[in-house]
């Protein structure tokens, strides 16, 4: 079962991808996590990716495609995987399709988590992240036990640059220009399914599970 998660930044597709990975025992492959790991470790790729992410821009295709294709070729992805943050434009989708086709494979489902822009700006402004261990919180929905402090490692929580309102607006604009055409791409392939991302997290999950059958 090979699933692509679509939706604007902050739509909740990452959370749903994690839940689906756990339920179906397949890897959650997030390009965002891969980039953040590289940034934390101070790798050359991480520093290059950080320059784009801090400005609310997307990391160039060549960096993303190389990492992603290597990841899904690993043994733990044999039964399937949930892609989160890839593909993010038509060229990436074409490269993925071509690579899978050579293996006699394809994407089975593209799930679009649909949320209006104003909801997303409010959601992301409430996010807080621990730069030490990578844990994430939300001041309304998933607050830490002690304000501003990570439950897991006790380090200070921050509002990441890419979650600030002005950056979020930029990211949404980039999404509309580059990523939204994927909805048409996967519709034409007959694998796109829309879910209402404004509902409770568990309701959204149940709706996706019903689609996957």
- Please list the active-site residues: 13, 88, 127, 160, 171
Handedness of CA 61, 32, 95, 211 (dihedral sign): negative
Angstrom distances, CA of residue 174 to CA of 8, 67, 205: 10, 22, 26
What tokens appear for 79 in the block?
Answer: 């039964």
DSSP code of residue 88: -
Nearest residue to 175 (alpha-carbon basis) of 13, 3, 2, 1: 13
Cβ 29 vs Cβ 68: under 8 Å: yes
What tokens appear for 198 in the block?
Answer: 């404004």
Nearest residue to 119 (alpha-carbon basis) of 180, 172, 41, 40: 172
CB atoms within 10 A of CB 198: 14
How many whole angstroms separate alpha carbon 207 and alpha carbon 194? 9
Q: Which residues contact 178 (CB under 8 A, 6 or more apart)?
A: 58, 88, 89
H-helix or E-strand containing 31? helix 31-40
């Amino acid at each position: 079962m090979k699933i692509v998660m679509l939706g604007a930044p902050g739509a909740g597709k990452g959370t749903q991808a994690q839940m689906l990975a756990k339920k179906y025992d397949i890897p959650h492959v997030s390009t965002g996590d891969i980039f953040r790991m590289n940034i934390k470790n101070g790798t050359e790729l991480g520093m290059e990716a950080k320059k784009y992410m801090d400005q609310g821009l997307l990391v160039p295709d060549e960096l993303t495609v190389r990492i992603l294709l290597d990841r899904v070729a690993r043994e733990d992805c044999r039964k399937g995987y949930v892609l989160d943050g890839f593909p993010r434009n038509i060229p990436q989708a074409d490269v993925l399709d071509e690579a899978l086709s050579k293996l006699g494979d394809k994407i089975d489902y593209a799930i679009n988590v649909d949320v209006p822009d104003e909801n997303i700006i409010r959601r992301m402004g409430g996010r807080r992240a621990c730069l030490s261990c990578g844990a994430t919180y939300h001041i309304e929905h998933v607050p830490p036990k002690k304000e501003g402090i990570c439950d897991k490692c006790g380090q200070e929580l921050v509002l990441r640059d890419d979650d600030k309102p002005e950056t979020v607006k930029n990211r949404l604009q980039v999404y509309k220009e580059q990523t939204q055409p994927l909805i048409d791409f996967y519709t034409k392939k007959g694998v796109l399914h829309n879910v209402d991302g404004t509902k409770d997290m568990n309701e959204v999950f149940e709706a996706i599970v019903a689609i996957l059958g």
